[in-house]
Chains A and B, each alone.
Chain A
Amino acid sequence: MKRWFVGFLLGLTAIFALTPMPGLGQTPATTPYTPPRTRDGHPDLQGIWQALNTAADDLEAHNASLGVPPGPGVVEGGAIPYQPSALARKKENFEKRATLDPETKCLLPGVPRITYMPGPFQIVQQADKVSILYEYRNAVRNIYMNGNPHPRGPIEWWMGDSRGRWEGNTLVVDVIYFNADTWFDRAGNFHSEALHVVERYTPTTPYHLLYEATIEDPKVFTRPWKISMPLYRRQEKEVEVLENACPAYLLEREWDNPTSTYFR
C-alpha cells in the first residue's frame, strides 16, 4: 500500500474518532475525562454509585421470565467460557437456584457480584485504602493501597482480599482468596476458591464510572473473561446508603415457619 494512502486512511480514522456521533455511544471518546483529585492527589471516585442493569439476574444475555427483567448481558463476547463439567454444574445451579443461590441465605455475595446487586454503594477514599460501603448486607469492603501484597494464604474469605493501585485515573483492584460458596448472579454462574478477579474503576464523566472485572478461575473456565458496565452516580439530593440487614429479614421469616429448611 502506498505510504500516502495509509496516511490518508489514518487521517480519516482520526477525523471519525474525533467527531462526536450522537446516538452511537453514551461517551464519545473525544478527550479523556480528568477527574478531580483527593487531598492525597489521587483521582477522586468518592460518592454514591449504582449499577443499572440486569447483571444481578444473569451476567449473560437472557429473556424475561416471571419477576426477572430481560437483559443483553454484560459479558464481553457474550458467553462465559465454562469448562464442560463446569457448564453442567452451572445448568444444575440454574435449575435449583431457588434453594442453592447463596443470595437466598443472605450470605455475603463476593466480588464482583456485590457491585451490581440492587442498591447503591458509597466509595470513601483515604491515603492508604479505599473503602466501599455497600447497602446490600451493610457490607464494608476495604481495598488496601498501603503497599502490602496479598497476605500469605491459604485464606478463604467471602469477599476475598482486595489490594488496589492507581493506573492513571483508574483504580485497579486485585482480589483473591475467595471461598467457593458465592455465585456471580441469580442464574447459577459460579466459580471455585481459585477465583482471581481484577477490577477496574475508571471515571469517564463526573457522573459515571466504567466498571470492568476480569475473571479468572482455571478450575472452572477455559480462559479469563471479562464483564463491563457503567456505574451511575446517584443524583437524588441528599441520597444516602440505607440499611439492608438481609439476615434479619431472613431469620424473622424462617424462625416461626414450621416447614423451614433453614435450621439444619
Chain B
Amino acid sequence: MSHRILAAVTTLTVVLALWLVVPVHLSGQAFWPKDTPKIPMAPTWIAQKAKLPPYTPPRTPDGVPDFQGMWDGAGGDGAADIEDHEYLDVTTPAEETFISDPPDGKVPYLPWALAKHREIRAGLGRGWPGESGPRTHGAPRSLCLNSMPRVNVDGGQEIIQKPGYVIILASTIGNWHRVIPTDGRPHVGPNAKFWLGNSRGRWEGDTLVVEVTNLNGRGWFDTAGNIYTENTRMVERWRLVDANTIDYEVTIEDPTIYTRPWKINHPKRRDGTDKRNLRGTAFAATAPSQAAAAGFTENVRPAAVDPYEKEVWETACFEGNHENTVTQHELGFKWFKGVTPPK
C-alpha cells in the first residue's frame, strides 16, 4: 500500500468526516463511487483459497515460517461493518461479510447482546438502514483507539521476527505494537486488561497461532457496533498461502456474549502486491497540491520518484483528531464502557 497515499488520505478523511458532520472514519482509506462492485471478503476468500496449491513458506534463520515485511490490512472499507452490507456512502462501499463461520456470516450473539448491538447501531448517526434511536456511541477507532482484531483489518502492518518473538508494528495508522512471545510463557495476570489484549504465540506446522486474552472489552470489530466483552478470547491463525498472501483467521470465543465460537477470515496482501483494486479511488488525495490545499502540508511527500516510499512516516492519529473528538462529544455520542453480560 502506498504510504504516501495513505498519509494524505488519513488526514483528508478527517476533512471528509467534518464535511459529512458524522464521526470520523479513519478506516475509510478511499472514496468509493456508488457503482463500486461489492467488495469480496470471507465468502469469496474461502472459495479462492480452496483452489490454491500447497505452499511451503520460506524460513527465517531460526527455522520458522518467514512472515517478515510490510502487509496491507483487509482492504475494502476497513471494516465499516464486519457483516455483509450494501453501499452506504463514499467511505463505505458494499462489502461481503468478514465472518467465515457461522455460514450465515452473522455474529452469533446471545439475545441480550443482539439487542445491545442493535441499540448501538440504531444510534450511530452514520446513515445505516434502520437508524432511528438517539445518539449512542462513536466507534472507538474514530477516536484513534486501537483494539483487537481491528488493527489487523483496517491498516497496514510490518511484521518482524526475532528468535522467540513475532513483532507486529503499525505501519499506516497511529501508534500500536504487538510483541508476541513464542517461548511458551504464560499470559499476564487476568486482572490486567488491554485494548489489544495480551498475546502469546506458538507454531503449529507452518501456522502461527496467537492466543489473545486480557482484552478490556472496549473495542469494536468495526464501526457498526459489533462488540465483545472482557471475557472474550481470540485465537489468531496466520498462514502464508503464497509469497505475498497471508490467510488471516481469528476465532472469537466467549460464551457470555455469543452462542458459539465464530471466525473472521480474510487475506492480507504484501504491501504493493494487491491487484484486486480494493481501495477505491483515492482521487485528489494522491496529489500533494490537493493535500496542501486542504491544509495538510506535513505528511505530503514529493510527487516524483520517492526513495522514501518504503518508509513508515508519522501519522499521529490521536494528535490530529482533536476537533473530531470534540465534534463527537458535542453531538452527544456517549463513551463506550463495554458491556456486562447479565448474570
Contact = CB atoms under 8 A, between A and B. Distances in A.
A154 B288 CA distance: 13
Contact of A248 (B145, B299, B307): B145
Contacts of B188: 240, 242
Given A142-B311, A152-B302, A242-B188, A251 B194 contact: no
Contacts of B326: 263-264
Contact of B181 (A106, A240, A242): A240
B177 A133 contact: yes
Nearest to A160: B314
A138 B162 contact: no
Interface size range on B against A: 35 or more
Interface in A221-264: 238, 240-243, 245, 247-248, 251-252, 255-256, 263-264
Interface string B293-315: 00001110110000110011110
A172 to B, nearest CB: 19
A71 B325 CA distance: 37
Interface string A101-140: 0000011100000000000001010100001010001111
Interface string B135-146: 000000001111
B218 interface: yes
A133 B176 CA distance: 9
Given A124-B167, A148-B307, A243-B195, A138 B316 contact: no
Nearest to A132: B177
B195 A131 contact: no
B160 interface: yes
B283 interface: no
Interface in A172-222: none
Nearest to B181: A240
A30 B169 CA distance: 39
A144 B310 CA distance: 11
A27 interface: no
Contacts of B181: 238, 240
Contacts of A142: 311-312
Nearest to A156: B298
B330 A140 contact: no
Contact of A140 (B61, B144, B177, B297): B177
A31 to B, nearest CB: 29
A140 B325 contact: no
A157 interface: yes
A34 interface: no
A131 B160 contact: yes
B203 interface: no
A243 B175 contact: no
A158 interface: yes
Interface in B186-216: 188, 192, 194-196
B312 A139 contact: no
Contacts of B218: 248
Nearest to B307: A148
Contacts of B169: 131, 133, 140
Given A106-B318, A108-B319, A124-B162, A248 B195 contact: yes
Contacts of B318: 106-108, 247
A197 B337 CA distance: 40
A2 interface: no
B179 A133 contact: yes
A75 interface: no
A39 interface: yes
A21 interface: no
A247 B308 CA distance: 30
B170 interface: yes
B179 A238 contact: no
Contacts of A131: 160, 169
A159 interface: yes
B329 interface: yes
Contacts of A140: 169-170, 175-177, 312
A241 B176 CA distance: 12
24 contacts: A124-B160, A124-B162, A131-B169, A133-B167, A137-B175, A138-B177, A139-B175, A140-B177, A140-B312, A144-B311, A151-B302, A151-B308, A155-B298, A238-B181, A242-B188, A242-B192, A245-B195, A247-B144, A247-B145, A252-B335, A255-B335, A256-B335, A263-B326, A263-B330
User: Considering the complex of A and B, which 3 residue pairs feature the smallest CB-CB distances, nearest first?
Assistant: A255-B335, A243-B194, A157-B314
Given A122-B179, A137-B175, A155-B298, 17 more contacts: A108-B175, A108-B316, A138-B175, A140-B170, A140-B176, A142-B312, A151-B308, A154-B297, A156-B298, A157-B314, A158-B319, A241-B177, A241-B179, A248-B195, A251-B335, A256-B335, A264-B326
Interface of A: 39, 46, 106-108, 122, 124, 126, 131, 133, 137-140, 142, 144, 146, 148, 151-152, 154-159, 238, 240-243, 245, 247-248, 251-252, 255-256, 263-264
